[in-house]
Structure formats: structure tokens, C-alpha cells
Structure 1
Amino acid sequence: MDHEDVNDAVTAMLRMLGPRTTDDWTVRAGTLEWTCWQTAAHVGHDLLAYAGQLAARPTDGYLPVDLTVRPSASPADVLQAVTACGGLLSSAPATADPAVRAWHWGPCDPTGFAAMGVAETLLHTYDIARGLSVDWLPPAGPSAAVLDRLFPAAPPGDPTRVLLWCTGRGDLAGLPRRTSWCGRRRSRTERRSRTERGGRTERGGRRPGVRSRAGVRSGAGVRSRPDVRSRAAGVRSQAGPTVAAPGPARSTGARRPRETPGVAHAPGVTPGPMECFAAFRTRH
């Protein structure tokens, strides 16, 4: 996936949510604990975070930077912020050397960050649409591309429905509803290379029972790594108070209980994705 996919995902979000900025965005976004407003701010936060990773290329954690959105910002203002952050993420993979790697619970290439940005945008647009009682689904083409890049072991079927199932947002016939998940940060080429060296199974996953460096057991039952505390909470500017948009967790060594969208988050803590792409638990 590349910068054009990021642009297309943000365009789809704006096309869907732009005409609905006068609706009540204080309602919950689907099954998430966040409101529609908070969820949109979270999208901007993650797009900015992914762009920052590719620009700075850190090797051991996320940058100590958080997007903050003023509580007085309207839904239209938040979407403008998402547009800006999406533009930054689009520019990052467009100009980055394919060999560039940046930290996301291990090394991740530009196509991985682009795919994560597309997934965050489309999936949370779906969440917000549900909160606003609008019938909308992620497009099939981008959904298939995200599955190919982040979920190579996904079952066959309609790509949109499969993506929703992979991320705990839907059901598939004959399969249990997922309560945790993990996207692959490595590219298909890297997974194939490691397989040829004997370090991976033919499907590209770790051999059953082998622990990753992040302390997550991969294989039949993927266990999410506990989230970590953000190094930056809300920031106060001269223009007034701001609120930290929910975003990626950072590797600071200070762990806390894993995130659950059905549980309110403590003040000063920035909730966000866990191991690999965005492993999480859903509320039933």
C-alpha cells in the first residue's frame, strides 16, 4: 500500500462524515467507549504518529509527541485536523526509501505504516457511522489491500466483512467472534525471506509456542500485550485547554492493564493500539 491509498481512505472518510458534522458527535462511536468526536480525533492522532515515525525513524519507541484537539473544536474542525494529518502521512511513504524502517513494536516499512493509516481511517469511520446511525461499510478494494498487508492469514470471503471480523467488529459464519487481534508489521517480502531462513512457518506466522521479543505468544491464540502509559498527557496552550487525542501507546517501560473500549480510561492516560498494529479487546 502507498500514499495514494492513504489519500483515498481520508477522502472516503470526509465524503461520508463531512455532510454529517451538524449531527450529535457526543454519542458513542459504535461499540467503542469513545464518542464520535473522540474517535475522529484519534484517527488524526494516529495518522500524525505514523507520519512522525517514518520521518524520524526511531528504533525503540514512538516519538514523545501527541496530537491535541481543543474541546471547543467542532466536528468539522476535527475533520480538518484529520485531513492535515492524513496529508502528512501520505507525504511520508511517498518520499521515503522503501528500505526505511521505523519502530512500531519492531521495525515497520513505509507500506506497513500506510496500511495501518488506511485501516485506522476506514475502520473508525465505520465506528463513527454506526454511532451516527448511518449505514456505511469500508470499500471492498481498500479492505482487501489492508487484509493482504496486515492480515495475510485472514479467512476467505467478502473483504469488507472479513476485515470487520479480523478487527472484532463483525461475525463470520462458522468462526468465533474475535476478541483480540494483531496486524503484521512486516512486509510479505520480509516474511517470505524469514520463512526461507527457517524462522517462520509457511503462512508467515511464528511457529506455535514461540514468544516474540514483545512478549506476545503468536500462533493459534494471540495474546495482546498490555498497553503502556503515554509520556504526554493533555497539553495546555496559550489559546486555551487542549485534550490529548487517543493514540498509539509508547514504549516507556511503565505498563498498565490492557485497554478495553468498554472501560473508561484514567485521566492523563492516552489509550491506543497495543502489540503490532492495534490489538485490542472488544466489549460484548
Structure 2
Amino acid sequence: MLSDDLTRTVALAREALGAVADLDWQAPAGSLTWTCWETVEHMSDDLFVYAAQLGPATPSLTTHVRFGWSRRRDGGPALTIFVDPAEGNRALLQVFESCGTMLASTVDAVPTTRQSFHEYGPSDASGFAAMGVVEVLVHMHDVAAGLGLPWTPPADLCTNALRRLFPTIPAGDPWPTLLWATGRGELPGRPALSSWTWDGSVRAG
């Protein structure tokens, strides 16, 4: 996947969330134990961290870039990127958009052969772009459930994300398949997953 896929995904999420910026984002995010606010912070944090992983000229393949992180509450997400809740939902959206731009710009800037650590296995710029797309698509599903927001992303984004990070999953309706692959629902003949990972390994060619 490319930086354009990521930029498009972030823009779609930003537009959808902007339409409900006046709602209470402290509502639970779907089936998660996080609030909608925390989930958008988590999306922002993922985008930032993926950019950070690709940033060094010689990244580690065995550990994260050593930015500090913390939790604001027990059970909340472990994050580097936070926004003061007093600043409001629109400030959080600006941070989300900024972090998306950071990752997209980094994907374009680094050599395509550069690889860096991820807990599911080392990946390259294309892989990290795809991870960013998946994090935004599926966590928007969680936030949308919490806020009563319609969210059905374009099929081509889902198809490309599945092809890049879930190459062994049989083809099907791309959005429900991506939700199933990330532990969010069932498909005919496929029970819900209790655990899951993606495959960000470097692809030939």
C-alpha cells in the first residue's frame, strides 16, 4: 500500500468524525473497554509510532524506537500521543490528522527497502502504511458503534489492506472480511476470532 491510501483513509475518518465532533466522545467505543476519545487517541498514536519506527536511517528489527509512553487510567490504552481533553474533540481531530500526515510523509521519504520492528514481525514502508490503514478503518468501526455513526469504508481500501496484511484469508466481501480478520464479528462458516495478528512481512517485488 502507498501513502495515498493512508492519506485517503485518514481524510475519510476525519470527515466522518468531524460531523459528530459535538457529541460526547467519552462514550464507550463499541465493544472496546476504551472510550471513543481514547480510541481516536490510539489511532493517532499508532500513526505517529509507525512513522517513528521508519524514521531512523538504520532502524532496529528487534525493538521499538524509545519514545516514552504511559496510561491515563487503568485499562486505558498505552500511548505516547495524548491530547488534553479540555481542548475538545476538534483539537483531537487535528492531532489525528497531523499524525496521519507524519506517517504518509515518512512512507514517501524513506527507501522502500527500509525495514523496522513491529511486534508482529519486521515490516517495510508499504507494510506500515497498510497497518495505518487497518488501524484507522477498524477502530473507526469501534468509534462509529459508540457514537451511532455510519461507517462503511471503500471496498478497494479494505481489499488492498487484506491483500497486504492478511494474504492467506480467502476472498470475500472486503469490509466484513476485514472486520472478521481483526476480531470484529463472524462470517458464514467462520466463527469469530478470539485472537488475531497480521502479516506485515516484506513482499517480493
Q: Normalization by structure 2: what TM-score?
A: 0.89
Residue 149 (structure 1) aligned with residue 164 (structure 2): yes
Over the matched positions of the two proteins, sequence identity in percent amounts to: 39
- Equivalent of 1:85 in 86, 99, 116: 99
In structure 1, what is the equivalent of residue 143 of structure 2?
128
Describe the superposition over 1:2-35 as per-residue Cα deviations: whole angstroms up to 9, x where unpaired.
1111100100101111111001111111111100
In structure 1, what is the equivalent of residue 195 of structure 2?
180
In structure 1, what is the equivalent of residue 113 of structure 2?
99
- Contact in 2 for aligned 1:123/1:138 (Cα 8 Å): no
What CA distance in whole angstroms lies between the structure 2 residues aligned with 1:131 and 1:21?
Answer: 13
Residue 46 (structure 1) aligned with residue 60 (structure 2): no
Describe the superposition over 1:108-159 as per-residue Cα deviations: whole angstroms up to 9, x where unpaired.
1100000000111111111111100122222211100110000001122100
Pairs aligned (count):
190
Tell me, what secondary structure is at the counterpart of 1:111?
helix
Which range moves more in the overlay, 9-18 or 104-113?
Answer: 104-113
Tell me, what secondary structure is at the counterpart of 2:204?
helix
- Computing the radius of gyration from Cα coordinates, the structure with the larger value is 1
* C-alpha RMSD of matched pairs (Å): 1.2
What CA distance in whole angstroms lies between the structure 1 residues aligned with 2:112 and 2:173?
Answer: 30
Unaligned stretches of 5+ residues in structure 2 = 68-79
What CA distance in whole angstroms lies between the structure 2 residues aligned with 1:168 and 1:139?
Answer: 20
Q: Normalization by structure 1: what TM-score?
A: 0.65
In structure 2, what is the equivalent of residue 162 of structure 1?
177
Alignment of 1:1-284 (within 5 A): 1-56=1-56, 57-65=59-67, 66-105=80-119, 106-189=121-204
Choose between structure 1 and 2 for higher RCO, CA contacts under 8 A separated by at least 6 residues: 2
Please state which structure has a larger fraction of its residues in helix.
2
